[in-house]
Structure formats: C-alpha cells, structure tokens
C-alpha cells in the first residue's frame, strides 16, 4: 500500500524536523540547556546527603564537552532521519524489497535517537547523575515522550512492505438471472 509507505516517510520527516529543531534551539539558545546540563552533571539539585554525589562533575569544561556531544548526537540523528526519509521518497514506488532495504538510514536514526534520549537522558542523566531526584532539572518525562514516539515509528517503519502491484479492479457481480454456460 502506497499510503503506508507515505506514512513511513512522513513520520521520518517529522522526527527529522524535531531533532533538527532541537539541535537548532540548543545552538541558538546555548545557555538555557547548558545550564540544564551543568546542574544535572554537578548534581546540585539532588537530595541532600545523596550518597551518589561522588559521581558529580563540577568542571565547566566537561559540562561543555558533554553538551557538545549531546548537540552533535541530536544533529546527527536529525540528519539521518532526513536522509532516510529522502531515500524512502526516492524508492517510494519501487518493489517491496527495494523499499525495505532503503529503510536502513531511518533505522540507524531511530537507534541513535534511542541512545540519545533513553541512554543519555534516562540511564546516564536520570540514574547515574540522579536527575530523577531533582524537582527543577529533570528531563526524564520529556525524553520518555520522544523515545517512545521514536520507538513507535521504528516498529512501523520496520514492518515489511510488499510490492505495490496493480490496483485491483472491481469485478462485476453476477445477477441471479445470468445463466451459467455449460
């Protein structure tokens, strides 16, 4: 079905737009999310007496390095989603096997998105740096919304596409009075 292929392309484009917009926002409003990264890494808003404070990073150079890696990964994710969507557009009406093979960039983008928003924000920031303890600097819910959207699109994109084939023509119904040939 062409509509399923179109949906896969559109969803990939929307994810690309999101990732590229996040990247653009982080570059043009660097200070806002840099502040977020610095608070998460320094663990300065976690519970008082937190036994995990030995993990905190208070070096601004390391904050900038971490933030730079986040921005680069988000940007690469957006570029991969965009390149993947363009590739799918190019083979939109091709045989199913060709369309299925063209999904690799979208799958790579979804994998990188999962690494950024689940591994980066939930595992590393959320658990290692105890971001979950912060009332102010906790991005786990926002990350959850995005990686679940990515996960849903990934599942849909990975569903195999068959050949489009010719459109079926409606066959005329027989009337009761039509005589069968013997």
Could you report the per-residue pLDDT of 79-96, keeping only the tens digit for each?
999 999 999 999 999 999
Query: The whole model's pTM is what?
Result: 0.86
Contact between residue 109 and residue 87 where contact means Cβ atoms under 8 Å apart: no
Could you report the per-residue pLDDT of 125-167, keeping only the tens digit for each?
999 999 999 999 999 999 999 999 999 999 999 999 999 875 5
d(CA 77, CA 110): 7
pLDDT above 90 as % of the chain: 89
Tell me the mean pLDDT in the region 49-78: 97
- Cα 99 vs. chain centroid, distance in angstroms? 20
Using CB atoms within 10 A of its CB, is residue 61 exposed (0-12), middle (13-18) or buried (19+)? exposed
Q: Which residue carries 């790579």 as its tokens?
A: 108
- What does the block give as tokens for 129? 């740096």
């Amino acid at each position: 079905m062409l509509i399923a292929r179109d949906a896969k392309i559109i969803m990939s484009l929307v994810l690309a737009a999101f990732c590229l917009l996040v990247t653009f926002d982080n570059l043009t409003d660097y200070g806002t999310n840099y502040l977020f990264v610095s608070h998460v890494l320094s663990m300065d808003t976690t519970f008082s007496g937190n036994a995990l404070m030995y993990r905190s990073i208070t070096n601004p150079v390391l904050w900038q390095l971490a933030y730079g890696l986040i921005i680069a990964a988000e940007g690469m994710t957006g570029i991969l989603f965009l390149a993947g969507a363009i590739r799918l557009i190019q083979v939109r009406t091709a045989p199913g096997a060709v369309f299925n093979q063209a999904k690799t960039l979208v799958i790579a983008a979804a994998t990188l998105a999962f690494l950024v928003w689940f591994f980066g924000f939930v595992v590393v920031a959320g658990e290692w740096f105890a971001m979950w303890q912060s009332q102010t600097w906790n991005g786990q819910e926002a990350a959850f919304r995005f990686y679940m959207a990515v996960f849903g699109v990934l599942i849909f994109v990975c569903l195999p596409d068959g050949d489009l084939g010719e459109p079926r023509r409606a066959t005329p119904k027989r009337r009761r009075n039509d005589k069968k040939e013997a």
